Structure 1
Amino acid sequence: MAEPTTKHAGADDIVDDMKSLSLGTSSHIYKNIMLVVKLGDASLVYLTRELIQWMLTNFPKITIYLQDVFDGSKELDAKELIADCKTRHERLQYWSVGSIKEVHENIDLVITLGGDGTVLFVAGLFQMKAPPIMSFALGSLGFLTTFNFENFKKDLKTVLNGENRLNVRMRLFCKHFTRKPNSVDEETGETVYTYEVAREYHVLNEATIDRGPCPYLSDIEIYGDGTLFTEAQGDGVIIATPTGSTAYSLSAGGSLVHPRVNAIAITPICPNTLSFRPIILPEDMVLQIKVPVTARGTAWVCLDGKVNFELAKGDYVIMAASPFPIQTVESSAAQYIHSIRRTLNWNRRMPQKSFSDILSPKNKVKYDDCQRAKLPIDVVDKIED
Structure 2
Amino acid sequence: MAFGIRELSKKLAQIRLKLHVKNIFILGKAHDEGLITNTRETVDWLLTKDPGYKVYVEHTLEDNKIFDTKGLLQKNPSYEGRLKFWTNELCEQKPQTFDIVLALGGDGTVLYSSWLFQRVVPPVLAFSLGSLGFLTKFDYDLYPQTLSRAFEEGITVNLRLRFEATVMRSQTRDNEDQSDLVEQLIGEEAEDHHTHRPDGTYNILNEVVVDRGPNPTMSSIELFGDDEHFTTVQADGICVSTPTGSTAYNLAAGGSLCHPDNPVILVTAICAHTLSFRPIILPDTIVLRCGVPYDARTSSWASFDGRERVELKPGDYVTISASRFPFPCVLPMNKRKTDWINSISRTLQWNSRDKPKAQGRK
Asked if TM exceeds 0.5, the reply is yes
SS of 2:31's partner is coil
| Structure 2 letter corresponding to 1:286 | V
Query: Secondary structure of 2:168's partner?
Result: strand
2:149 maps to what in 1?
Answer: 158
Q: Which among 67, 72, 81 is matched to residue 81 of structure 1? A: 72
Q: CA deviation at 1:141?
A: 1.8
1:341-356 correspondence runs (5 A)? 341-354=345-358, 356=360
Cα 1:146–1:137 change in 2 (3 A) is same
Say if 1:195 and 1:126 are closer, same or farther in 2 by CA, change over 3 A: same
**Residues 149 and 78 (structure 1), Cα distance of their counterparts in 2 relative to 1, 3 Å cut:** same
- Following TM superposition, by how much is the alpha carbon of 1:60 offset from its aligned partner in structure 2, in angstroms? 2.3
Q: Is the 8 A contact 2:207 2:239 kept in 1?
A: yes
2:54 is aligned with 1:63? yes
Paired with 2:213 and 2:116, the residues of 1 have a C-alpha distance of 26
Contact 1:53 1:85 in 2 (8 A): no
Q: Secondary structure at the match of 2:96?
A: coil
Partner in structure 1 of residue 25 of structure 2: 34
Q: Deviations over 1:263-316 (max 9, x none)?
A: 100011111112111111111111011111122221111110011111111111
State whether residues 56 and 85 of structure 1, in contact with CA within 8 Å, keep that contact through their aligned partners in structure 2: no
| Cross-structure match for 2:315 | 314
Whole-angstrom distance in 2 between the partners of 1:284 and 1:239? 14
Tell me the amino acid that sits aligned with residue 327 of structure 1: P
Offset, 1:110: 0.7
Aligned pairs for 1:352-371 (under 5 A) are: 352-354=356-358, 356-358=360-362
- What is the match of residue 8 of structure 1? none
Answer whether contact 2:92 2:118 (CA < 8 A) is retained. no
Matched, 1:329 2:330: yes
Amino acid in the other structure paired with 2:58: Q
1:287 aligns with 2:285: no
Q: For the Cα contact (< 8 Å) 1:63–1:92, is it kept in 2?
A: yes
Tell me which moved more, 33-42 or 275-284.
33-42
- Alpha-carbon spacing, 1:153–1:119, altered in 2? closer, same or farther (3 Å): same
Query: Which whole-Å deviations, capped at 9, do the CAs of 1:179-201 have from their partners, x for residues lacking one?
Result: 1139979xxxxxx9721111110
Q: Residue 60 of structure 2: SS of its match in structure 1? A: helix
Deviation at 1:234, TM superposition (A): 1.1
Amino acid at match of 1:150: D
Moved over 6 A (4+): 182-185
1:309 aligned counterpart, secondary structure: strand
The amino acid of 2:98's aligned partner reads: I
Deviations 1:49-68 (A, max 9, x none): 22111111112221100111
Distance 1:280 1:229 in 2: 13
Asked whether the 8 Å contact 1:116–1:143 carries over to 2, the reply is yes
- Once the two structures are superposed, the pairs formed by residues 1-385 of structure 1 within 5 Å of their partners are 15=2, 18-20=5-7, 21-22=9-10, 23-24=13-14, 25-85=16-76, 87-181=78-172, 194-331=195-332, 332-333=335-336, 334-354=338-358, 356-358=360-362
Return the alpha-carbon distance in structure 1 between the equivalents of residues 143 and 268 of structure 2.
37
SS of corresponding position for 2:138: coil
Which secondary structure state, in structure 2, belongs to the residue aligned with residue 129 of structure 1? coil
Q: Radius of gyration: which is bigger? A: 1
Amino acid at match of 2:235: G
Gaps (5+ residues) in structure 1? 1-13, 186-191, 359-385
Unmatched 5+ stretches in structure 2: 177-191
3-state SS of 1:127 partner: coil
The one-letter code matched in structure 2 to 1:278 is P
- Hey, what's the Cα distance between the residues in 1 that align with 2:273 and 2:175? 38
When residues 27 and 138 of structure 1 are mapped into structure 2, their CA distance, relative to the original with a 3 A threshold, is same
Q: 1:172-222: CA deviations, max 9, x gaps? A: 00011111139979xxxxxx9721111110110000111111222211111
Residue 160 of structure 1, CA deviation? 1.8
Question: In 1, Cα distance between the equivalents of 2:208 and 2:232?
Answer: 17
Which residue is 2:185 aligned to? none
Task: Give the aligned residue type for 2:341.
Answer: I
Tell me the distance in 1 between the aligned counterparts of 2:131 and 2:39. Answer: 18
With structure 1 as the length reference, what TM-score do the two structures score? 0.83
Q: RMSD of aligned C-alpha atoms?
A: 2.0
Measured against aligned partners, the alpha-carbon deviations of 1:58-117 in whole angstroms (never above 9, x if no partner) come to 122211001111103332223432444452411110012233234422111111111111
Counterpart Cα distance in 2 of 1:139 and 1:351: 30
> 2:36 is paired with a residue of what secondary structure?
helix
